[in-house]
Amino acid sequence: MIGLVDGNNFFVSCERIFDPSLEGKPVAVLSNNDGCCISRSNEFKALQIPMGTPYFQLRRVIKKYGLEFRSSNYALYGDISRRIIAVLHEFVPQVEQYSIDEAFIYPALPAETDFHAFGSRIRETLRRWIGVPCGVGFAPTKTLAKIANHIGKKSSSGVFVMPDDPQGILRRTPVSEVWGVGRRLALKLESMGIHTAFDLASRDLPELKRRFSVLLAQTALELRGERCIAAEDPSELSQSISCSRSFGHPVTAFEDLEESVAVYTARAAEKLRKEKQRAAGANIYFQLYPENRHLLLSSTVTSTTVAFEHPTDDTAQMMKAIRPKLRGIFVPGRRYKKSGVLFFGLESGENAPRDLFAPDSEKNNAGLFSVVDQINAKYGRGTLFTLGEGTTKSWQMKRSLLSPDYTTSWDQLLKVK
Amino acid sequence: MAKKEKSKELPPLMAAPAVCGFPSPAEQYVESPLDLNELLVKKAAATFFVRAVGDSMTGAGIRNGDILVVDRSLEAVDGAIVIAAVDNEFTVKYFRKRGSDILLEPANAAFKSIRFAEGMELRIFGVVTACIHQFR
């Protein structure tokens, strides 16, 4: 069985951990520069305000509906996401993070296990230990697990296990809700009479391959219960920007880990540029071989969260922020199994509101930046800087409704009376 | 203290005096420096740091400005110090069971206890396991 765990209304749920006044209210988190709604509480959804609604359009009705808004706080969301992954590692041997709020889990349990009870235990632990409500779905394949998770999230228990014969469920699942089927593809499929997941699953595979792609044929197979999408599969299906690999042999040197992170970061940045997107931050993981010698760390995963100063697609900018953090999650003397990087807070560079003061066109300035970096390395950080960075930090991205960095900054800790 | 995620960079506490003799050739046997995280944080994923504000718990050794280590994985038992949400604010108090009621009790005579009768919702954030008081 493969499980999919995801945080409900994740960004809003992160905000609620530290702010009880948001409970029961219509809350939305805004994109960078307070652009539009990117995460909504159930109460907010109930007002029929769609995802992506610009903030300025809602200003007039804030009082009327008692709306609450928060600027996106990726340092906080990244840290909570990191904690969720750490907890999942206590339940299963293999966790594959898919996005900031979703992870596939691979339990090493016999088929006759009560997966509903297992999922409930995971869910309850995440709620108590971290404070985020999650949905859990189990199924034989990733594509089916996505559907199971979707159903679980809407049920009162929050957990759903795909029955042995999923036909009834697939008949009720619109094809547009199948993992990997985008809006445009769904329209095309519907024009061919493929309306539900069941329609897609029962379609002739060579035909799907010929008329669409190998990927869609794989999706159809997955819906039939046949595993096609492997763990750590860097297939195009993956919409998140993440990269993780198990090492061929145990790695012990910090430099090797650092290099693996640099390689993943470069790869992810390339993908971001190709898709004209920028990332607001990243989580970095090292997975360790368990060692009983003396328990320096009980967990077999160490991780850290990095929030970039500005959303970026520039490898150098990313590594500049990531590199200083890596030492902090390196435990000397241990053997490492795997490393991983997940980028989050992805926004399309075209649609995102322009950040006037973001360092401009970093790529075109590659030569310039390397000179600047050299001078700064020689004479100290900040000797040369772009005016875009500002002489005071008052020109930061507009985040007027930002919550404190409760978990990543000593001077912004939650206050208790 | 450094930032939390940099915690492995904390300066090592010197546990052993300098020892004369040959340096060990077997580097893997070198003892790791003492790590405050090992002492204070049992469940990293469920542990949060918060800052105490005010004087309601001075009797328990918690003073204004102290950093509290809060473990959300622990059950609140009678006599524990907990962080709870009261009137949309977080408060640190003793958790006391009084029959079917729950009392959030300060450790300072100038403050009043808060009583939660059966059926009233009490949201516990976590259990306080340590208090960090810095002198400079």
Using alpha carbons only, give the angle B127, B132, B134 rounded to the nearest 5 degrees.
160
CB B3 to CB A128 under 8 A? no
pLDDT of residue A347: 78
The CA distance from A221 to A270, in Å, is 30
Instruction: Using an 8 Å CB-CB cutoff, list chain A residues near B2.
Output: 328
Report the chain A residue with the minimal C-alpha distance to residue B7: A328
What was the ipTM of the complex prediction?
A: 0.79
Instruction: Using an 8 Å CB-CB cutoff, list chain B residues near A131.
Output: 72, 125
Q: What is the dihedral of CA B32, B36, B42, B45, to 10 degrees?
A: -100
- In terms of phi and psi (left: phi > 0; alpha: psi -120 to 50; beta: otherwise), the region of B8 is alpha
B104 touches chain A (CB under 8 A): no
Q: Convert the pLDDT of each residue in A393-416 to its tens digit.
A: 334 457 788 999 999 889 999 999
Q: Convert the pLDDT of each residue in A287-338 to its tens digit.
A: 888 776 554 445 588 899 998 988 888 889 999 999 999 998 998 888 898 8
A297 touches chain B (CB under 8 A): yes
CB B51 to CB A414 under 8 A? yes
Q: What are phi and psi of A69, to 5 degrees?
A: -125, 150
Contact present, A68 and A27 (Cβ < 8 Å): yes
The CA distance from A331 to A329, in Å, is 6
CA distance A411 to chain B (A): 9
CB B73 to CB A83 under 8 A? no
The CATH number fitting domain A241-389, selected from 2.40.30.10, 3.40.50.300, 1.10.630.10, 3.30.1490.100: 3.30.1490.100
| Domain map (residue ranges) of chain A | 241-389
pLDDT of residue A378: 57
Contact present, A96 and A38 (Cβ < 8 Å): no
B6 carries an active-site annotation: no
B35 touches chain A (CB under 8 A): yes
In which element (H, E) is residue A309 found? strand A301-312
Tokens of A209: 């391959």
The CA distance from A136 to A70, in Å, is 27
What are the pLDDT tens digits along chain B (136 aa)?
A: 444 444 444 444 444 444 455 555 554 455 667 889 889 999 999 999 999 999 999 999 999 999 999 999 999 999 999 999 998 999 999 999 998 899 999 999 999 999 998 878 899 999 999 999 999 8
The single residue of B6, B7, B93, B112 carrying the catalytic annotation is: B93
Q: Point out the residues of chain A with pLDDT beneath 70.
A: 231-240, 292-299, 349-397
Q: What are phi and psi of A127, to 5 degrees?
A: -65, -45
A416 touches chain B (CB under 8 A): yes
Q: What are phi and psi of A244, to 5 degrees?
A: -145, 145
Tokens of A337: 């199994």
Q: Please give the C-alpha separations between residue A61 and each of A46, A47, A55, A58, A244, in angstroms, as whole numbers.
A: 15, 11, 10, 6, 44
The single residue of B24, B42, B56, B73 carrying the catalytic annotation is: B56
Q: Is B44 helix (H, G, I), strand (E, B) or coil?
A: helix
Q: Is A47 exposed, middle or buried (0-12, 13-18, 19+ CB in 10 A)?
A: middle
Report the chain B residue with the minimal C-alpha distance to residue A325: B6
Mutate to test the interface with B, among A21, A412, A416, A417 (most CBs of B within 10 A): A416
The CA distance from A28 to A47, in Å, is 12
The CA distance from A318 to A312, in Å, is 7
B57 touches chain A (CB under 8 A): no
Contact present, A133 and A95 (Cβ < 8 Å): no
